[in-house]
């Protein structure tokens, strides 16, 4: 498999390093956490009050006529959990997965199937940062302390934004196609994926098994970690003195992929074409 998106956990740590987000940032941010925590409930309420009054976001949320209180409660709960983890400066792998999934939800893959264009998410993060700065100023914190803390919060939330955008783009690609190919999930992999038995991947005519699997493993990182090994492949370019080394992925020993009941290794491998009505199945070792 070629051209997979980055594993969300790898991307999270890579971007934290790129942002040079370190202990000095965390120490500066920690000096403002109490102030921000005290205003947390107010912040959540203000965000959704604002979104409900802007015609574009009210339309996206389905609140043109009136605010759905049950929906509002769901969103406030989700936002409150995010805010609590953010104020805790969580940099764990689990939070990387959480943010990646949040991006997928913004792409219309949540329970209500609401698509929130990512420009609104990105700018909402900017509004949160502005509220952070206002709350610090209103609490009477020194300008230097605010500046150091905001430098850290900007780094941290920028990396969060990148993480959500990764989930969003993967989900949009997952839906890009004119027909869907069901991918059956079996054995241990089904357990790792919380009991999911089948996924339906959108593709276009002349798609191959590789394209279906690439979208599947991009969308479900836990499946990638279970089923695939990364190997490094060298490519020589005629206009370069250097060999380019890129990651490619192959099935771990014992894993099998079937197309309409036949193992793809006996067909054309990853290059095997798929058509409307085809079925792909992924089996872990032991089946």
CATH number of the domain to which 221 belongs? 3.10.20.30
Q: Write down which residue in 174, 203, 237 finishes a domain.
A: 174
- The two tokens of residue 195 are 């009991």
pLDDT at 287: 56
In this predicted structure, what is the pLDDT of residue 240? 73
Examine the fold and report which residue of 174, 195, 229 is the final residue of a domain before the chain moves on: 174
167 and 191 share a domain? no
In a domain, residue 95? The reply is yes
Q: What is the dihedral of CA 15, 113, 110, 43, to 10 degrees?
A: 70
CA–CA distance, 220 with 18 (Å, rounded to integer): 25
In this prediction, residue 228 has a pLDDT band, given cuts at 50, 70 and 90, of very high
Specify the pLDDT at position 180: 98
Residues 164 and 83 in one domain: yes
Query: How far apart, in Å, are the Cα atoms of 7 and each of 12, 34, 132, 139?
Result: 9, 34, 30, 40
204 in any annotated domain: yes
Average pLDDT, the chain: 95
Q: Which of 174, 200, 220 is the last residue of a domain?
A: 174
Angle, alpha carbons 209-252-184 (nearest 5°): 45
Residues 161 and 37 in one domain: yes
> Residue 136's pLDDT is what?
98
Cα–Cα dist 167/165, whole Å: 5
Q: How many Å separate Cα 229 from the centre of its chain?
A: 21
pLDDT at 247: 87
pLDDT (tens digit per residue) in 234-274: 777 777 777 778 889 999 999 999 999 999 999 999 999 99
Assigned domain for 106 exists: yes
What is the C-alpha to C-alpha distance for residues 62 and 248, in angstroms, rounded to an integer? Answer: 42
Lowest mean pLDDT, pick from 111-115, 186-190, 230-234: 230-234
Residue 272 falls inside a structural domain: yes
**Percentage of the chain modeled with pLDDT above 90:** 92
Mean pLDDT of 196-218: 98
Answer yes or no: do 184 and 169 share one domain: no
1 found inside a domain = no
Domain containing 132: what range? 8-174
CA atoms within a 13 Å half-sphere pointing along the CA-CB vector of 124: 23
- Rounded to the nearest 10 degrees, how much is the dihedral formed by the CA atoms of 117, 120, 122, 123? 160
- Determine, yes or no, domain membership for 3: no
**2 inside domain:** no
Same domain, 20 and 157: yes
Phi then psi dihedrals of residue 107, to 5 deg: -80, 10
- The answer to whether the CB of 243 falls within 8 A of the CB of 146 is no
Domains in the chain, number: 2
Do 45 and 134 share a domain, yes or no? yes
Residues 129-171 have pLDDT tens digits of 999 999 999 999 999 999 999 999 999 999 999 999 999 999 9
pLDDT in tens, 67-120: 999 999 999 999 999 999 999 999 999 999 999 999 999 999 999 999 999 999
Q: Determine which helix (DSSP H) or strand (DSSP E) holds 140, and give its type and residue range.
A: none
């Amino acid at each position: 498999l070629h051209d997979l998106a980055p594993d969300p956990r790898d991307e999270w740590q890579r971007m934290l390093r790129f942002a040079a987000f370190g202990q000095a940032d965390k120490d500066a941010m920690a000096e403002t956490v109490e102030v921000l925590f005290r205003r947390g409930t107010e912040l959540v309420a203000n965000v959704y009050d604002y979104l409900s009054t802007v015609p574009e976001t009210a339309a996206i949320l389905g609140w043109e006529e009136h605010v759905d209180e049950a929906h509002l409660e769901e969103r406030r709960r989700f936002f409150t959990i995010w805010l609590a983890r953010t104020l805790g400066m969580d940099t764990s792998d689990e939070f990387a997965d959480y943010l990646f999934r949040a991006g997928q939800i913004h792409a219309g893959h949540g329970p209500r199937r609401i698509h929130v264009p990512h420009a609104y998410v990105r700018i909402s993060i900017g509004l949160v940062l502005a509220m952070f700065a206002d709350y610090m100023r209103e609490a009477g914190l020194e300008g230097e302390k605010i500046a150091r803390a905001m430098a850290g919060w900007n780094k941290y939330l920028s990396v969060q934004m990148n993480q959500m955008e990764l989930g969003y783009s993967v989900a949009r690609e997952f839906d890009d196609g004119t027909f869907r190919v069901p991918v059956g999930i079996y054995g241990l992999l089904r357990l790792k994926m919380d009991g999911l038995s089948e996924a339906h991947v959108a593709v276009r005519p002349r798609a191959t098994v590789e394209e279906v699997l690439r979208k599947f493993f991009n969308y479900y990182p836990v499946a990638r970690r279970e089923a695939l090994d990364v190997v490094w492949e060298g490519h020589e370019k005629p206009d370069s003195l250097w060999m380019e080394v890129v990651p490619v992925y192959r099935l771990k020993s014992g894993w099998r992929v079937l197309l309409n009941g036949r193992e793809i290794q006996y067909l054309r491998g990853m290059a095997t074409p798929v058509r409307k009505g085809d079925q792909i199945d992924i089996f872990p070792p032991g089946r």
